């Protein structure tokens, strides 16, 4: 049903554009000088629509229109890094809300004094969640005057973002029960009385791969275990996909970047203010707007860079006749 909804929305968008183009052509064929202003406005509006559709055409990956599982892990640095991880969590939630996407926090480990050590979120919606968030996979670096340092010194913090397409329900992966170690424990953090007093949280370790997933935000043990198994399937699927891609690169003789996963973007709040993506050189001076979810510029620059696409250029509208 989710796939059907996505396809219907895409088809209806093109049908609406086709209808508007037919109407504009019919209006132009009337050769009425008094309609020039109206035609100019419609041409400008259609140019913007075409630009948007041209950008959407960049989402050509197999799973770009799928929902996404996004994880954030605080790097070395204690409270500073844990606070930075929570800032990133807020940034992605604000971005998703701006695109009318739903975010569900599936698992979260609170920090020792502030922030979070790690979190796992499901991002769901119709606006290419996985395709857009691909640009965010990697290490994010923050430079600022620490609010936790009594001497007000400048600190550098790191947090890692991981991403998988949420395709667990669409794939078949055989997981042997003997390959799993399942631990049950009491949920930490906010929750109702039932969540706090009973062992409803679940941690599943896949022994052959070493992958560990956990879920504690559902009310019952059964719900948490079902969610954790879906997450495990998605991660095993992504692991196999990456192995196949690496093998293809090796067969083609291409070099694999050994530094991939290192710092992809810097958020500098002192001594100057700037957010810069080190892969595309796209930068923004308004750091706060980015932390409030203004990520589209970075995502578009990344997609155009990896696909070798030129930014769409809208031709100026001209009224004739």
What is the 8-class DSSP label of residue 21?
H
Give the pLDDT score at 84.
96
Q: Are strands 138-145 and 263-268 parallel, antiparallel or unpaired?
A: parallel
Give the pLDDT score at 203.
93
pLDDT tens digits for range 27-55: 888 888 888 888 889 889 988 888 888 88
Pick out the chain residues at pLDDT < 70.
2, 168-172, 188-198, 244-245, 247-261, 308-321
CA dihedral 157→264→166→249, nearest 10 degrees, is -140
What is the 8-class DSSP label of residue 62?
T
Give the pLDDT score at 189.
58
Class at the top of the CATH hierarchy for domain 68-170+260-307: alpha beta
Using the CB atoms, write b or e for 3-18: b if 16+ within 10 Å: eeebeeeeeeeeeeee
The C-alpha angle 248, 250, 253, rounded to 5 degrees, equals 110
Give the pLDDT score at 88.
98
283 within 8 A of 276, measured Cβ to Cβ? yes
Phi, psi of 143 (to 5 degrees): -120, 120
165 within 8 A of 238, measured Cβ to Cβ? yes
Among 10, 156, 159, which Cα is nearest to 92's? 159
Find the helix or strand (DSSP H, E) in which 107 lies. strand 102-110
Give the pLDDT score at 318.
38
pLDDT tens digits for range 133-143: 999 999 999 99
CA–CA separation, 285 and 274 (whole Å): 4
Please state the pTM of the whole predicted model.
0.70
Who's near 54: CB < 8 A, 6+ residues apart? 312
Class at the top of the CATH hierarchy for domain 177-252: alpha beta
């Amino acid at each position: 049903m989710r796939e059907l909804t996505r396809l219907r929305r895409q088809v209806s968008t093109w049908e609406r554009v086709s209808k508007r183009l037919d109407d504009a052509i019919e209006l132009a064929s009337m050769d009425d000088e008094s309609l020039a202003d109206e035609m100019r406005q419609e041409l400008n509006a259609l140019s913007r629509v075409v630009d948007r559709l041209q950008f959407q055409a960049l989402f050509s990956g197999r799973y770009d229109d799928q929902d996404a599982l996004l994880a954030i892990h605080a790097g070395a640095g204690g409270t500073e890094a844990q606070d930075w991880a929570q800032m990133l969590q807020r940034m992605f939630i604000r971005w998703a809300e701006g695109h009318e996407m739903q975010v569900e926090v599936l698992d979260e480990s609170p920090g020792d004094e502030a922030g979070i050590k790690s979190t796992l979120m499901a991002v769901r919606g119709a606006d290419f969640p996985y395709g857009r968030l691909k640009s965010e996979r990697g290490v994010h670096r923050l430079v600022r005057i620490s609010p936790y340092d009594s001497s007000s010194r400048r600190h550098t913090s790191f947090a890692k973002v991981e991403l998988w397409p949420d395709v667990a329900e669409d794939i078949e992966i055989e997981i042997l029960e003997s390959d799993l170690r399942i631990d049950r424990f009491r949920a930490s953090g906010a929750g109702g009385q039932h969540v706090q007093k009973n062992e409803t949280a679940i941690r599943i370790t896949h022994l052959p791969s070493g992958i560990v997933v956990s879920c504690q935000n559902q009310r019952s043990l059964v719900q948490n275990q079902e969610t954790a198994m879906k997450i495990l399937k998605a991660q095993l699927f992504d692991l196999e996909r990456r192995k196949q891609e690496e093998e293809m690169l090796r067969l083609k003789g291409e070099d694999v970047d050994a530094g991939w996963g290192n710092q992809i973007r810097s958020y500098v709040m002192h001594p100057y203010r700037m957010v810069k993506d080190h892969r595309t050189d796209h930068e923004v001076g308004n750091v706060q707007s980015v932390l409030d979810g203004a990520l589209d510029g970075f995502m578009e620059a990344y997609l155009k860079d990896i696909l070798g696409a030129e930014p769409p250029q809208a031709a100026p509208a001209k009224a004739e006749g």
